[in-house]
């Protein structure tokens, strides 16, 4: 089955840029979605279809996808961005929604 690989943790200082990667075999051919989950809360969709933002998500959140890596970029990081972030794709061959293992973003 298709596997998505994320770094377990990423740390960034306030005001800087955080980049969270999601690796997968030829992931550039798939649509990648990103979710933010804060402790005790349900996940929230922050990026869909590789780089689109749902309404209400700040422009500081952006996404890209090419080759074997998709990236979630958070610009001008704020303390409130501290959360777990998950990438997700639909694997058409197995009819499976696949999540990455998640990345804990720490704001220093």
Q: Is 96 in the site for other proteins (CB under 8 A)?
A: yes
DSSP calls for 18-46: EEEEEE-TTGGGS--EEEEE-TTS--EEE
Residue 3, SS3 per DSSP? coil
Q: How many CA atoms lie within 13 A of 22 on its CB side?
A: 32
Q: Is 24 in the site for other proteins (CB under 8 A)?
A: no
Q: Is 7 in the site for other proteins (CB under 8 A)?
A: no
Q: Is 2 in the site for other proteins (CB under 8 A)?
A: no
Contact residue for other proteins among 26, 39, 42, 59 (CB under 8 A) = 42
Name the residue nearer to other proteins (CB basis): 66 or 94.
94
């Amino acid at each position: 089955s298709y596997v998505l690989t994320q770094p377990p943790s990423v740390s960034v200082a306030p005001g800087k840029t955080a980049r969270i990667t999601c690796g997968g075999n030829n992931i550039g051919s798939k649509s990648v979605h990103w979710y933010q989950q804060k402790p005790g809360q349900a996940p929230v969709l922050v990026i869909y279809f590789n780089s689109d933002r749902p309404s209400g998500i700040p422009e500081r959140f952006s996404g890209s996808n090419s080759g074997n890596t998709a990236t979630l970029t958070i610009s001008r990081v704020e303390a409130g961005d501290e959360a777990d972030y998950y990438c997700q794709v639909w694997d058409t061959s197995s009819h499976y929604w696949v999540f990455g293992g998640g990345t804990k973003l720490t704001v220093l």
